[in-house]
RNA sequence: GGGCGGUUAGCUCAGCUGGUCAGAGCGCCUGCCUUACAAGCAGGAGGUCCCCGGUUCGAGCCCGGGACCGCCCACCA
């Protein structure tokens, strides 16, 4: 196709699929496992859930990582973007349960083995969805080596880690209070619990003293748990109860005698200052119970129903039913002293949204303190750096207060614990133990346990693969802040423990993209914006540019304007290229971009600065400015000025082509599709832009003098245009002028052309004056405008200038300023004053 | 209860270690089909930089206090 056949609009929907195909076929995303991790560049993608569909968070993070990956690939590094998906225990299990439900059956009915088979089948069918969606974004992950956290090799790594930690004594089994999620019927970790405010009823209940001399009143929002009470606690210094400590009360409805104990945990000022202790159903009571050796009576089971221990009358009821029954029974005996509405925060399951039922359960735990120390040190001493830095402090706060991690889950989908039991015996090992009678632990591991191994398990650990030394440690981990504890911290701990090295040296915590109105983007709220629809509408480049331009060091609202800016930029580049290529015609120009004019030196200088700036911004994760800086260069310098400036010149082509090629190169990491599409039409551009090198820095091309000269010339054009507008010069009319300003040289001609002026030398008396840097443009007699309007305009300008002069003089007349401000600042002010006076005089 | 962000033009946001920092995009107004682009080009209007104190020759920028919005952590029944 000849350049003039190139359509005037860039059509992403037509271009993108073809370009994507070429990239995928080229193999550019797959590096050979050679060299060392120090020479190479690698990023491990936060593995999306297999059940997932691309959301804005993925799209932003994918854009961020792809910019980094493409940039480093262009720098000539062997670059690997480790790709894969997470088996996502609960989420995936639920998905398939739903499917079974639609078939009229249940997980229990089909049985574990069949269920797991069904999940695998589901994964085969739908698991690649999100991978394809990443491709549409243009992400150059290593698609040829897709990992899955439940693959055989990966599972081996998980088992290996579990066994080693067990042998080290860091993993153990215990009967302990856990967060029971009735929704998923599994224990969950502290991190998967979220506090939500609810309004409960606070019941004040009288417990009669065993002595018969009165009562102690306690308050609770969960009266049903009283069936499991083991004691009453008061503060040791609470005089009201001092003489009662050691005595007993009679537990209403049950009749059990409860000791009155003293414990510092109790807040005397809260309620009556007496606290009922239910060790099996409240985390605090659990602690107190263990400290005092109290009985742990489980009255609510894992099914959410009252156990036999709750007594005949209540056993089998749901906890809620039991509450009503207990309250009714207490009322009957007139033991309820008061009730009041009580708003407070209570734990809910992050997954199922259901209220957590704290209970004592036999689970597997991991002690974290021993691993946390070195992992915290790695951040303290800078081996791992967070960007923005404040997240490092957040990480450290958590690490310094770390608690044991409940790692077992009562699910079917996941890594089954490598643990076998026979009677009282427990065996932990990679393979099943010898001998008969062993049964394997049913539970599976918390999904985050396997995710914690991601950076090295994906590379084949514990096998000594070639990929491991080539790409581990990785360079950057890019993620959202909500998984800093769940994932990032644990990767650092596990990485250090099992490889002796930090898994990545930088953690970039990107923005959270909110809905347009500032609410959270969420499916249930209907506030989500589908990145794929946005790509359909505006193109992948526009979405990438938009997201990067939006991103910040804080949360941001989704901005349609930024996406539009990206779309506009793509189109602008497309048309600028058209302009250049139409001149290039068949001629293949590879010649050095020899500058033949000031504007050539200027654009080469500006290009040089943009290259350096873009590189440093990418390296410092300042994607916002990298994207917008690129936009400014392309619009504000290349198109608005340079292209206009050289129109009519026939010797600018080498520079034009050079600037176009390099601009495509530096824009490519941000807007890869359109730049690749243009590249295919550029004479002398071989192969894929995605495989081309980053435009080499040419510091010698920075030209201060040319920048200054052009800045003045541009300012002059703008001054002339503004003047024309303000005095109402007839549209398009050429205005005769005498150029009375220094320092323009050859640029005066272009200023005149762009300002639609006719340069003359005649000695006629000027009828108007337009101040420009270095002097003025004197307007000669003409009928193109009304001189009165010009006079008014001059007055306005004079007033403004006089004001500025007064301000500058005031500043310089202030001895405080002159004496204390740095000499350069004072000098700058003096120069400014001179300039202003000059402009004023020129009027 | 503790901690962290934020509050700048009608809207969404930039403003580095205090001195051309009062900006961009969108929107708005005016004028243009200028042979790359009318989803374009040119010009323009628009802001007590949340409030109150303080430091300084000089403060969106630093310090103290306050208001409001958002997030994280947290075992007060």
Count, residues in chain A? 843
Q: Which residues pair with A354 in a beta bridge?
A: none
| Residue A633 banded pLDDT, cuts 50, 70, 90 | very high
Residue A411 (CA) to nucleotide B26 (C1'), in angstroms, measures 50
Q: Tell me what pLDDT residue A588 has.
A: 55
Nearest residue by alpha-carbon distance to C1' of B31: A731
Nearest to A273 by CA among A263, A282, A283: A263
Q: Report the alpha-carbon angle A42-A44-A47, nearest 5.
A: 160
**Helix H segments across A452-597?**
454-457, 467-471, 490-499, 531-538, 540-550, 560-584
A617 touches strand B (CB under 7 A): no
Residue A497 (CA) to nucleotide B16 (C1'), in angstroms, measures 39
Torsion angle of C-alpha atoms A217, A218, A224, A226, degrees rounded to 10: -90
User: Which DSSP string do the residues of A584-610 spell out, in sequence order?
Assistant: HTT----S-----SHHHHHHHHHHHHH
Q: Tell me what pLDDT residue A210 has.
A: 87
A630 touches strand B (CB under 7 A): no
Residue A543 (CA) to nucleotide B41 (C1'), in angstroms, measures 26
What A764-768 contacts at long range (C-beta under 8 Å, 24+ apart), as own/partner pairs, is A766/A738, A768/A723, A768/A727, A768/A793, A768/A794
Mean pLDDT of A611-621: 93
Residue A573 (CA) to nucleotide B34 (C1'), in angstroms, measures 20
Q: Tell me what pLDDT residue A4 has.
A: 62
Mean pLDDT of A458-481: 95
A700 touches strand B (CB under 7 A): no
* Whether residue A788 has pLDDT greater than 50: yes
Interacting residues of A777 by C-beta distance below 8 A, sequence separation 6+:
A716, A719, A720, A737, A738, A739, A740, A741, A755, A757, A769, A770
What A569-572 contacts at long range (C-beta under 8 Å, 24+ apart), as own/partner pairs, is A569/A541, A569/A545, A569/A630, A569/A631, A569/A634, A569/A635, A569/A671, A570/A10, A570/A12, A570/A539, A570/A541, A570/A542, A570/A545, A570/A671, A570/A673, A570/A674, A571/A9, A571/A10, A572/A634, A572/A635, A572/A639
- More confidently predicted of A684 and A446: A446
Q: Give the position of tokens 């239910």.
A: A278
Q: Tell me what pLDDT residue A589 has.
A: 59
A window 103-122: Cβ near strand B (< 7 A): none
Task: Identify nearest nucleotide to residue A824 by CA to C1′ distance.
Answer: B19
Distance CA A822, CA A226 (A): 74
Q: Is the dihedral of CA A93, A98, A99, A100 positive or negative?
A: positive
Q: Tell me what pLDDT residue A794 has.
A: 78
Nearest to A165 by CA among A364, A411, A395: A364
Task: Identify nearest nucleotide to residue A754 by CA to C1′ distance.
Answer: B34
Nearest residue by alpha-carbon distance to C1' of B74: A195
Distances (CA, A) of A417 to A191, A311, A426: 21, 35, 12
Q: Tell me what pLDDT residue A571 has.
A: 94
Q: Tell me what pLDDT residue A1 has.
A: 46
Mean pLDDT of A437-449: 94
Task: Identify nearest nucleotide to residue A219 by CA to C1′ distance.
Answer: B77
Distance CA A540, CA A671 (A): 8
Burial class (CB in 10 A: 0-12, 13-18, 19+), A748: middle
Distance CA A187, CA A154 (A): 24
Residue A390 (CA) to nucleotide B56 (C1'), in angstroms, measures 29
A window 283-342: Cβ near strand B (< 7 A): 283-284
Distance CA A210, CA A204 (A): 19
User: Which DSSP string do the residues of A118-169 spell out, in sequence order?
Assistant: HHHHHHHHHTTHHHHHHHHTT----GGGEEETTSHHHHHHHHHHHHHHHHTT
Token couple for A749: 């001609």
* Whether residue A419 has pLDDT greater than 50: yes
What proportion of chain A, given as a percentage, has pLDDT over 90? 63
Residue A781 (CA) to nucleotide B46 (C1'), in angstroms, measures 35
A553 touches strand B (CB under 7 A): yes
Nearest residue by alpha-carbon distance to C1' of B30: A725
Give the Cβ contact number of residue A22 at 10 Å. 14
Nearest residue by alpha-carbon distance to C1' of B20: A832
* Whether residue A536 has pLDDT greater than 90: yes
Q: Tell me what pLDDT residue A412 has.
A: 92
* Whether residue A650 has pLDDT greater than 80: yes
Q: Is the dihedral of CA A798, A803, A806, A812 positive or negative?
A: negative
A564 touches strand B (CB under 7 A): yes
Distance CA A179, CA A192 (A): 9
* Whether residue A556 has pLDDT greater than 60: yes
What integer best gives the mean pLDDT of chain A? 90
A419 touches strand B (CB under 7 A): no
Nearest residue by alpha-carbon distance to C1' of B70: A555
Distance CA A794, CA A816 (A): 35
Task: Identify nearest nucleotide to residue A283 by CA to C1′ distance.
Answer: B75
- Structure letter (DSSP) for residue A306: B
What proportion of chain A, given as a percentage, has pLDDT over 70? 98
Residue A569 (CA) to nucleotide B26 (C1'), in angstroms, measures 15
Residue A555 (CA) to nucleotide B7 (C1'), in angstroms, measures 14
Task: Identify nearest nucleotide to residue A389 by CA to C1′ distance.
Answer: B4
pLDDT one-digit tens code per residue, A755-785: 999 988 777 888 888 888 888 899 998 888 8
- Structure letter (DSSP) for residue A694: P
CB-CB contact of A548 with A528 (8 Å): no
A731 touches strand B (CB under 7 A): yes
| Residue A528 banded pLDDT, cuts 50, 70, 90 | confident
Q: Tell me what pLDDT residue A586 has.
A: 52
Chain B nucleotides reached by a protein CB under 7 Å? 3-6, 11-14, 19-20, 24-26, 30-32, 36-44, 56-58, 70-77
Mean pLDDT of A196-219: 89
A window 466-505: Cβ near strand B (< 7 A): 481-482, 485
Residue A518 (CA) to nucleotide B7 (C1'), in angstroms, measures 14
Nearest residue by alpha-carbon distance to C1' of B75: A284
Residue A628 (CA) to nucleotide B14 (C1'), in angstroms, measures 10
pLDDT one-digit tens code per residue, A246-258: 889 999 888 899 9
Residue A838 (CA) to nucleotide B12 (C1'), in angstroms, measures 40
Furthest CA-CA distance within chain A: 121
Residue A506 (CA) to nucleotide B66 (C1'), in angstroms, measures 38
A820 touches strand B (CB under 7 A): yes
Residue A218 (CA) to nucleotide B77 (C1'), in angstroms, measures 8
Q: Are strands A79-85 and A775-779 parallel, antiparallel or unpaired?
A: unpaired
Name the 3-class secondary structure at A341.
strand
Q: Tell me what pLDDT residue A271 has.
A: 83
pLDDT one-digit tens code per residue, A292-315: 999 999 999 988 899 999 888 998
Distance CA A463, CA A154 (A): 11
Task: Identify nearest nucleotide to residue A818 by CA to C1′ distance.
Answer: B57
A218 touches strand B (CB under 7 A): yes
Token couple for A655: 């520079």
* Whether residue A74 has pLDDT greater than 60: yes
Residue A665 (CA) to nucleotide B37 (C1'), in angstroms, measures 21
Nearest to A557 by CA among A36, A103, A60, A195: A60
Q: Which residues pair with A82 in a beta bridge?
A: A44
| Residue A590 banded pLDDT, cuts 50, 70, 90 | low
Distance CA A778, CA A741 (A): 9
A128 touches strand B (CB under 7 A): no
Q: Tell me what pLDDT residue A799 has.
A: 76
Q: Report the alpha-carbon angle A379-A68-A544, nearest 5.
A: 120
């Amino acid at each position: 196709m000849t350049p003039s056949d190139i359509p005037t609009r860039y059509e992403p929907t037509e271009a993108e699929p073809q370009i994507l195909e070429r990239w995928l076929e080229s193999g550019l995303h797959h590096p050979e496992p050679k060299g060392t991790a120090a020479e190479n560049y690698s990023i491990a993608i936060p593995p999306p859930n297999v059940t997932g569909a691309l959301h804005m968070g993925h799209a932003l993070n994918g854009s961020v990582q792809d910019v980094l990956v493409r940039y480093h690939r262009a720098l000539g590094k062997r670059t690997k973007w480790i790709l894969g998906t997470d088996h996502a225990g609960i989420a995936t299990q639920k998905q398939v349960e739903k499917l079974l439900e639609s078939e009229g059956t249940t997980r229990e009915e089909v049985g574990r083995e069949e269920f797991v088979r069904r999940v695998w089948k589901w994964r085969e069918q739908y698991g690649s969805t999100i991978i394809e969606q990443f491709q549409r974004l243009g992400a150059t992950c290593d698609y040829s080596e897709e990992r899955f956290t439940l693959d055989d090799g990966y599972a081996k790594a998980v088992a290996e880690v579990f066994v080693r930690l067990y042998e080290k004594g860091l993993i153990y089994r215990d009967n302990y209070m856990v967060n029971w999620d009735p929704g998923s019927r599994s224990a969950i970790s502290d991190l998967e619990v979220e506090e939500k405010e609810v309004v409960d009823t606070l019941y004040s209940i009288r417990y009669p003293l065993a002595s018969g001399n009165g009562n102690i009143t306690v308050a609770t929002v969960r009266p049903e748990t009283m069936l499991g009470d083991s004691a009453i606690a008061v503060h040791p210094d609470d005089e009201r109860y001092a003489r009662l400590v050691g005595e007993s009360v009679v537990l209403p409805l049950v009749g059990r005698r409860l000791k009155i104990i003293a414990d510092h945990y109790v807040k005397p000022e809260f309620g009556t200052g007496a606290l009922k202790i239910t060790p099996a159903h409240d985390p605090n009571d659990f602690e107190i119970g263990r400290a005092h050796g109290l009985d742990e009576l489980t009255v609510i089971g894992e099914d959410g129903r009252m156990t036999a221990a709750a007594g005949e009358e209540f056993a089998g009821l749901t906890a809620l039913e039991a509450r009503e029954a207990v309250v009714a029974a207490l009322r009957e005996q007139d033991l309820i002293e008061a009730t009041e509405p009580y708003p407070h925060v209570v734990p809910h399951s992050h997954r199922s949204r259901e209220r957590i039922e704290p209970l004592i359960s036999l689970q597997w735990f991991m002690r974290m303190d021993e691993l946390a120390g070195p992992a915290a040190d790695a951040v303290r001493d800078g081996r791992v750096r967070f960007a923005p830095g404040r997240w490092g402090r957040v990480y450290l706060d958590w690490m310094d207060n770390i608690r044991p991690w409940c790692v077992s889950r009562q699910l079917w989908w996941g890594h089954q614990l490598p643990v076998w039991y026979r009677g009282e015996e427990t065996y932990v090992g990679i393979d099943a133990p010898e001998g008969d009678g062993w049964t394997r632990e049913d539970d599976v591991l918390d999904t985050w346990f396997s995710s914690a191994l991601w950076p090295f398990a994906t590379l084949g650990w514990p096998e000594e693969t070639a990929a491991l030394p080539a790409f581990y440690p990785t360079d950057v981990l890019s993620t959202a802040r909500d998984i800093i504890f769940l994932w990032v911290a644990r990767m650092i701990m596990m990485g250090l423990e099992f490889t002796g090295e930090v898994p990545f040296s930088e953690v970039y915590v990107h923005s959270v993209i909110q809905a347009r109105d500032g609410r959270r983007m969420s499916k249930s709220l209907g506030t989500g914006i589908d990145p794929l629809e946005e790509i359909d509408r505006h193109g992948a480049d526009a979405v990438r540019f938009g997201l990067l331009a939006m991103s910040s060091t804080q949360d941001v609202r989704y901005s349609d304007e930024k996406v539009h800016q990206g779309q506009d930029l793509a189109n602008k580049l497309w048309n600028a290229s058209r302009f250049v290529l139409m001149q290039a015609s068949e001629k293949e120009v590879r010649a050095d971009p020899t500058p033949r004019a000031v504007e050539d030196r200027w654009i080469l200088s500006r290009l040089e600065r943009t290259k350096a700036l873009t590189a440093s911004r990418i390296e410092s994760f300042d994607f916002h400015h990298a994207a917008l800086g690129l936009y400014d260069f392309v619009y504000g310098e290349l198109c608005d000025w340079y292209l206009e400036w050289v129109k009519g010149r026939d010797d600018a082509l080498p520079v034009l082509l050079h600037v176009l090629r390099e601009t495509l190169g530096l824009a490519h990491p941000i807007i890869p599709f359109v730049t690749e599409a243009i590249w295919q039409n550029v004479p002398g551009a071989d192969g894929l832009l995605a495989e081309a090198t980053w435009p080499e820095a040419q510091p010698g091309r920075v030209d201060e003098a040319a920048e200054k000269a052009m800045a003045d010339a541009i300012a002059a054009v703008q001054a002339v245009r503004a003047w024309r507008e303000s005095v109402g010069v007839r549209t398009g009319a050429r205005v005769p002028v005498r150029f009375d300003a220094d320092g323009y040289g050859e640029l005066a001609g272009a200023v005149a052309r762009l300002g639609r002026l006719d340069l003359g030398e005649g000695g006629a008396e000027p009828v108007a004056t337009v101040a420009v840097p270095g002097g003025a443009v004197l307007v000669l007699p003409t009928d193109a405008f009304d001189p009165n309007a010009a006079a008014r305009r001059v007055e306005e300008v004079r007033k403004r200038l006089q004001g500025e002069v007064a301000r500058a003089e005031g500043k310089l007349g202030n001895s405080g300023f002159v004496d204390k401000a740095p000499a350069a600042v004072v000098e700058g002010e003096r120069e400014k004053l001179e300039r202003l006076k000059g402009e004023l005089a020129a009027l």
